[in-house]
Amino acid sequence: MSDAPESNVPASTPPQSTVSELIELLSLERLEENLFRGQSRDIGTKYVFGGQVLGQALSAAQATVGRDSERHAHSLHAYFLRAGDIDAPIVYDVDRTRDGGSFSVRRVSAIQHGKVIFFCAASFQATEPGAEHQATMPDVPQPEDIAPRPPRPPEVIARLPPKVQRWLSRSGPFEFRHVSPRDDLDPSKRPPFQQVWFRLSEAVGDAPELHQALLAYASDFQLLGTATFPHGISYYQPNVQMASLDHALWLHRPFRADDWLLYSIDSPSAQHSRGLARGQIFDRHGRLVASTAQEGLIRVLPEAATGP
């Protein structure tokens, strides 16, 4: 028997990893047969991060298709209607629009405070053979040959608003390696395209549904910002307002979100305070695994209108 006094203080538990937090965020609570509830996370954005809603909506749709059907998502088309409240959960209402011989379609509405903030349609297909071709992956350095971006100096971070400090200081669940980095705190003008390697920072299970939901989450990073490149502006400037308006995701081939993927993005147009960006996602073997498109608000206000 030990002579040490007993303690009522519970043993400390290790902090949850950001990857575990993200998987938990995408694991929705089922309220009814077609009704789900997801929590929100403050990652330093002013409102709920669009990728969170995309990933949760796809997770809700997947839960009504069922793994036994062997049908996997091949496309998702979404509209962002209202800014999401970080401090409130989101309810996802799934409509089982169609279950055909090969395809299933679901419509998902995301609801906060009694109002629809987002809706999407997602289509699922049973795997079948057919003709194949794809675009060629850009010739870029491998991720191991690109040094991680160094942390910004503390004196630079200290001068930024608290939300931006939290965003730039956090260690998120995904790791990014930019082929041609840009300083978004002091942006220069450059052509509207970029290539970014990214991967989940920890290995996860093999379920295709999980990797698809993780990719839906990550696909909202980097995309719209590419449309700001020719104008020398960025999301971090107080007189710049940016928000996703819609988002499309096509899933072409199997992939793993915990292995390196190359996001090749371009922006063909910006007009009327809106910018359009398109993306192709390749695995490290050169297979085109997904494509994206997004139009978003890019509004530059007079400096005097932004306040302190």
Please indicate whether residue 139 is annotated as part of the active site: no
* Residue of 104, 237, 244, 267 with catalytic role: 244
* Residue of 220, 237, 264, 291 with catalytic role: 220
Please indicate whether residue 294 is annotated as part of the active site: yes
Four-residue CA torsion sign, 41, 65, 124, 74: positive
* Residue of 40, 112, 212, 294 with catalytic role: 294
Contact in structure between 110 and 123 (CB atoms under 8 Å):
no
Please indicate whether residue 125 is annotated as part of the active site: no
Per the structure block, which two tokens stand in for 105? 């379609």
Q: Which residues are catalytic?
A: 220, 244, 294
